[in-house]
């Protein structure tokens, strides 16, 4: 229970810090005098570093203990937040965000620790509860983070977060038992190099394409490096004894489906979050011209819906089936998204309604997909499978801000010529 309580409060702290960042992106863009594409790197670098560190820290957790690595990643996250909060330049901001990304590995480590504490039959309900807590985290963090950000500046949100992470770290030290599962394996540095080269090239191509043009030799080379690098990475991972990412697990159809599902959902989530933020905060007639605080308040219904739907989904899943729940959830999300494409013709209450429908669908998909994954692999492979899932979610998520930034830069560039 202590592990669950700490995970829940840890989620709240991270949601508070990260939740306020997206609504503050337009302000940061103005403060730092950077383009929308540059601003998207503030999210992309965090997710990119999170992807790589989740893969490595999981292994280090198996070697040296998950509790120890959890505490180390929490300290790295705090240092990252400190640098981000005091950043005076775009470069310094990116360094801080990169360190925060490394610290993001604390989430899969904490999940792995929790999973060791519960019997399999309780896992769907516990996952429903944790998903609901993401909703609580959002409901609390979005208006609070937005309020602090608007009244004291976006840097202040980071300054208020350090004491909480230090207390959390102490709680982990005092109340969490060190994992009994040890599975020392060497780290696949070649795999890490291939994956990071491929991902960085792909992200540079998508982010910088509006500036240089899609046919620019640099952009084409980056796209080729991304595709080739990823292909070589996958091939290499199938040949080594201790791969960075256990791609052989993907021969299990349910694991493959769950991972493609989370990659698509991760991509969709970040793309949508950035689109909603700019839609709500952009001046009229393009957006609704809301303040950061008002935009944060507008997102509360989404969080409340998630808080209600996720535990219900966790309970009904055994009766209606995970596959059906995923399809129903994705269909509901599509209805919400299609409604959002018509926002320019209706008022704010219509936008809130559409966002709430979307949130209900997303919650169902999340609960369904994680259950499909957890019940499709053996317990000894659980850590590897959830680590792989984090990697796929982040790979998908890394594209969201890049594509959003790319589209918005394209839009802003064209606006200059009007």
Partner 1 sequence: MLISLKPLLWIALPAKFSYQLMFVITTALYIMAIVVIITLTREIFVKGEIRALEV
- List interacting residues with partner 1 (CB under 8 A): 120-121, 252-254, 256-258, 260-261, 264-265, 267-268, 271-272, 274-275, 278-279, 286-287, 317-323, 326-327, 330-331, 333-334, 337-338, 340-345, 361, 365, 368, 371-372, 375-379, 403-404, 407-408, 410-411, 414-415
**Minimum distance from CB of 327 to partner 1 (Å)?**
6
Handedness of CA 20, 114, 400, 342 (dihedral sign): negative
* Distance separating alpha carbons of residues 57 and 268, to the nearest angstrom: 26
Dist. CA 377–CA 388, nearest whole Å: 12
Min dist CB 381 to partner 1, Å, is: 8
Taking the complex as a whole, the smallest distance from the CB of residue 354 to partner 1 amounts, in Å, to 9
Q: Whole-number minimum distance, CB 321 to partner 1, in Å?
A: 5
Q: How far is the CB of 26 from partner 1 (least distance, A)?
A: 13
Residue placing its CB nearer to partner 1 in the complex, 148 or 298: 298
Residue 186 or 321 having the CB closest to partner 1: 321
| Nearest residue (CB) to partner 1, 304 versus 337 | 337
Minimum distance of partner 1 from residue 306's CB (angstroms) = 16
Helices 106-117 and 123-152, interaxial angle, to 10°? 150
Identity of the residue, 22 or 403, whose beta carbon is nearer to partner 1 in the bound complex: 403
Cβ proximity to partner 1: between 14 and 265 the closer is: 265
Q: Which is nearer to partner 1, 140 or 352 (CB)?
A: 352
Q: Could you write out the three-class secondary structure of the chain?
A: CHHHHHHHHHHHHHHHHHHHHHHHHHHHHHHHCCCHHHHHHHHHHHHHHHHHHHHHHHHHHHHHCHHHHHHHHHHHHHHHHHHHHCCCCHHHHHHHHHHHHHHCCHHHHHHHHHHHHCCHHHHHHHHHHHHHHHHHHHHHHHHHHHHHHHHHCHHHHHHCCHHHHHHHHHHHHHHCCCCCCCCCCCCCHHHHHHHHHHHHHHHHHHHHHHHHCCCCHHHHHHHHHHHHHHHHHHHHHHHCCCCCCCHHHHHCHHHHHHHHHHHHHHHHHHHHHHHHHHHHHCCCCCCCCCCHHHHHHHCHHHHHHHHHHHHHHHHHHHHHCHHHHHHHHHHHHHHHHHHHCCHHHCCHHHHHHHHHHHHHHHHHHHHHHHHHHHCCCCHHHHHHHHHHHHHHHHHHHHHHHHHHHHHHHHHHHHHHCC
Comparing CB distances to partner 1, the nearer of 39 and 172 is: 39
Residue 305 vs 372, nearer CB to partner 1: 372
In the complex, least distance from residue 117 CB atom to partner 1, rounded to whole angstroms: 16
Cβ distance to partner 1 smaller for residue 165 or 407: 407
Number of residues that make up the chain? 418
Q: How far is the CB of 303 from partner 1 (least distance, A)?
A: 19
Minimum CB separation of residue 352 from partner 1 in Å reads 15
């Amino acid at each position: 229970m202590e592990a669950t309580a700490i995970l829940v409060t840890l989620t709240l702290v991270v949601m508070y810090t990260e939740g306020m960042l997206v609504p503050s992106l337009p302000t940061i863009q103005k403060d730092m005098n950077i383009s929308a594409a540059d601003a998207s790197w503030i999210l992309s670098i965090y997710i990119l570093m999170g992807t790589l560190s989740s893969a490595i820290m999981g292994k280090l957790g198996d070697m040296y203990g998950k509790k120890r690595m959890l505490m180390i990643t929490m300290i790295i996250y705090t240092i990252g937040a400190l640098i981000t909060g005091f950043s005076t330049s775009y470069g310094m901001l990116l360094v801080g965000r990169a360190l925060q990304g490394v610290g993001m590995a604390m989430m899969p480590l904490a999940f792995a620790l929790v999973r060791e504490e519960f019997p399999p039959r309780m896992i769907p309900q516990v996952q429903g509860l944790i998903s609901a807590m993401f909703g609580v985290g959002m409901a609390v963090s979005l208006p609070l983070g937005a309020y602090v950000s608007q009244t004291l500046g976006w840097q202040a949100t980071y300054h208020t977060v350090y004491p909480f992470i230090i207390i959390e770290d102490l709680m982990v030290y005092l109340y969490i038992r060190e994992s009994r599962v040890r599975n020392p394996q060497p780290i696949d540095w070649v795999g890490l190099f291939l994956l990071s080269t491929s991902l960085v090239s792909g992200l540079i191509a998508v982010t910088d394409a509006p500036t240089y043009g899609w046919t620019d030799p640099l952009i084409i080379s980056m796209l080729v490096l991304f595709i080739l690098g990823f292909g070589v990475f996958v091939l290499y991972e199938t040949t080594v004894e201790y791969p960075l990412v256990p791609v052989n697990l993907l021969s299990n159809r349910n694991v493959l489906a769950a991972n493609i599902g989370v990659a698509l959902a991760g991509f969709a989530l970040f793309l949508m979050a950035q689109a909603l933020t700019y839609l709500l905060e952009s001046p009229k007639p393009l957006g609704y011209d809301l303040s950061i605080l008002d935009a944060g308040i507008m997102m509360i219904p989404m969080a409340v819906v998630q808080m209600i739907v996720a535990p219900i989904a966790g309970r009904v899943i055994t009766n209606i089936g995970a596959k059906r729940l995923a399809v129903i959830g994705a269909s509901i999300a599509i209805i919400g998204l299609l409604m959002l494409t018509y926002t320019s013709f209706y008022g704010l209450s219509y936008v809130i309604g559409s966002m709430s429908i979307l949130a209900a669908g997303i919650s169902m998909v999340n609960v369904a997909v994680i259950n499909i994954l957890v019940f499709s692999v053996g317990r000894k492979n659980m850590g590897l499978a959830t680590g792989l899932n984090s990697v796929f979610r982040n790979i998908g998520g890394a594209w969201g801000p890049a594509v959003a930034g790319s589209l918005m830069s394209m839009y802003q560039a064209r606006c200059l010529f009007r």
